[in-house]
Chains A and B, each alone.
Chain A
């Protein structure tokens, strides 16, 4: 059984005087023990809302959540909020995009690390501080005892994200959700943070749900990849087939728009034309249709169904891409 099974998750925001926004529209995927799964898509496609819904961090009367999220045999969406609080931080942890705003500016880093140890591991006082220093050391923060006394504004962006990672892995969670953990960081730091995450989940046996708009990030990291578009999964496959033979025109477009080291000099990038603003409603047909090169009139007969190939490769398209020229292979030999 999978560690996490998300089934037909929907999230709708109701706003007074405006039509409802269905930010997540029937998303299903699974994450196995210790597996690294990617959730990829352009900004605004519903990645963050999906992850917050899993963590039950979307609150307020204007949010409606449907479907099912089963974690380790427990239906999270039906859990009492106190029970959910016990799971969050201990079994399921999360790191966010912007490390500066994600840390409390007026509380020392040390307290922000020890509070989770006190909450879930019952460590207090000196024992908690010792363990916090060990954690900071583990995520590559030099001079941890001094750092514990510092405040977020005294640290660099990379160090802050490391501190947040230390908090997230403090209780060796079974699942870690990382929502664009490198997007706000310098390029050189991005690689280090990804490397760190990879090491940590490997050593702790933690499953990782990696959320990003950057296919380059999932390329070196993920076992399985789900491509999200306008609140729906439009393609899902293991990494290798997804990169070698993307089937959905949107995935093809995403792959073509990544800068590649092996591309001939001077070859222009091919961004997907248009923007998410051009989308049509799924009820009317494929939301991607206005931006799609493979569009035909069949695309406008309701939402395309999710087709599953024998290989397990799933795609939501009536005119799937079958030939690849040149084969879009950007990551194959890294030993995973």
Chain B
């Protein structure tokens, strides 16, 4: 198992290397550059050239790439063009927010989606099944930002049940060793800060969970239906086992295999796709930062973000493979 993990982590190196070359070239060939964003329409050709020289953008692309790689080797992603602060520092304040949000959404989607999908399959053709299938279709169709807005207006603005924006109530003075606010509170013993951060996660988390929830319900339902027709479920019934044993050990355990893969992929998708939800709730995640980075042609931030997301994807996939091999002895790795 350990060897498998190490091998997979080593595979990360060539993956990131290839990806970095491709994207570096592609990014730098996009029309326009940071100078256009900085100067707007006003700048003269000379001013533009000066900015390009200061940023080192006038050098041949392979020299620039070499510099990027050299810095990367010491885990330095360079300096953000828009803010002038180190990219790693920018990420450190924002990425944990996005991860926290994506995980909240996935926990909601999984905890609600799997039982719902199971019940829908068990009562196939019944009212609950109809409701689950229809609402999951709606969940996939309704734009997430619209849901986010709806939740915000109803639960935060009108009913005042939950906070409407940000990650913590202004005035709460908590320390943040990791940048994951809920976790920070637990680590430092400031439990009310944890609770406050959690309350801020609920609405955006719910909104963001809609699509993964819908997908997990549908996948679980389809998968359970398939497993219910398997001979080993009939064997389990023939043994007179309690309904719960049949349900958990024989049906769900097998039905979870494809769902686990989906959960991994969906989590990865949420990390890079939470932009709109984050902006509705002024959540301060990485999404909006990346949006402006694109306008700014903030090359170091964009490259850094892509490396970060790619690494996260590989790590998530590794986790999926590990849980897969725990769940399914037939693919168990040595």
Cα separation A107 to B248 with both chains bound (whole Å): 11
Cα separation A61 to B232 with both chains bound (whole Å): 21
Whether B234 and A96, one on each chain, are in contact in the complex, defined by CB atoms closer than 8 angstroms, is yes
Q: Which one, B4-12, B270-278, B284-292, B323-331, is touching chain A? A: B323-331
Given A89-B240, A119-B240, A151-B330, is A103 in contact with B245 using a C-beta cutoff of 8 Å? no
Whether A87 and B239, one on each chain, are in contact in the complex, defined by CB atoms closer than 8 angstroms, is no
**Interface flag for A86 (CB, 8 Å):** yes
- Which secondary structure dominates where chain B touches chain A? helix
Max count, chain A CB within 10 A of own CB: residue among B240, B243, B245, B327: B240
Q: Which one, B33-41, B175-183, B249-257, is touching chain A? A: B249-257
- Residues of A close to B327: CB separation below 8 A: 106
Binding site for B on A (CB under 8 A): 52, 55, 57, 61, 84-90, 93-94, 96, 98, 101-108, 111, 115-116, 119-120, 151, 153, 164, 167
Cα separation A105 to B250 with both chains bound (whole Å): 9
* Interface membership of chain B positions 295-334, coded 1 if the CB is closer than 8 angstroms to chain A and 0 otherwise: 0000000000000000000000000000000011110000
Whether A102 and B232, one on each chain, are in contact in the complex, defined by CB atoms closer than 8 angstroms, is yes
Contact partner of B235 (CB less than 8 A), chosen from A86, A119, A151, A164, is A164
Max count, chain A CB within 10 A of own CB: residue among B125, B236, B242, B249: B236
Q: Closest CB of chain A to B326's CB: distance in Å?
A: 10
Whether A116 and B241, one on each chain, are in contact in the complex, defined by CB atoms closer than 8 angstroms, is yes
Whether B240 and A115, one on each chain, are in contact in the complex, defined by CB atoms closer than 8 angstroms, is no
Please, which residue of chain A has its CB at the minimum distance from the CB of B245?
A: A115
Cα separation A129 to B280 with both chains bound (whole Å): 57
**Interface flag for B89 (CB, 8 Å):** no
**Interface flag for B226 (CB, 8 Å):** no
Q: Closest CB of chain B to A63's CB: distance in Å?
A: 14
Whether B253 and A107, one on each chain, are in contact in the complex, defined by CB atoms closer than 8 angstroms, is yes
Please, which residue of chain A has its CB at the minimum distance from the CB of B232?
A: A104
Whether B234 and A107, one on each chain, are in contact in the complex, defined by CB atoms closer than 8 angstroms, is no
- Residues of A close to B241: CB separation below 8 A: 85, 89, 115-116, 119
Number of interface residues of B (CB under 8 A): 24
- Residues of B close to A107: CB separation below 8 A: 249-250, 253
Please, which residue of chain B has its CB at the minimum distance from the CB of A111?
A: B249
Whether A89 and B239, one on each chain, are in contact in the complex, defined by CB atoms closer than 8 angstroms, is yes
- Residues of B close to A103: CB separation below 8 A: 232, 235
**Interface flag for B1 (CB, 8 Å):** no
Q: Closest CB of chain B to A224's CB: distance in Å?
A: 23
Whether B238 and A89, one on each chain, are in contact in the complex, defined by CB atoms closer than 8 angstroms, is yes
Please, which residue of chain A has its CB at the minimum distance from the CB of B230?
A: A101
Whether B329 and A106, one on each chain, are in contact in the complex, defined by CB atoms closer than 8 angstroms, is yes
**Interface flag for B237 (CB, 8 Å):** yes
Whether A106 and B234, one on each chain, are in contact in the complex, defined by CB atoms closer than 8 angstroms, is no
Whether A106 and B328, one on each chain, are in contact in the complex, defined by CB atoms closer than 8 angstroms, is yes
16 sampled A-B residue pairs with Cβ under 8 A: A57-B234, A61-B125, A85-B241, A85-B242, A90-B240, A101-B230, A101-B231, A102-B232, A103-B235, A104-B232, A105-B232, A105-B329, A106-B328, A107-B253, A115-B249, A151-B330
Beyond known contacts A102-B234, A104-B250: 20 more, CB 8 A cutoff: A52-B234, A61-B125, A84-B240, A85-B241, A88-B238, A93-B238, A93-B239, A98-B231, A104-B236, A104-B253, A105-B330, A106-B254, A106-B257, A107-B250, A107-B253, A115-B245, A116-B240, A120-B240, A151-B329, A151-B330
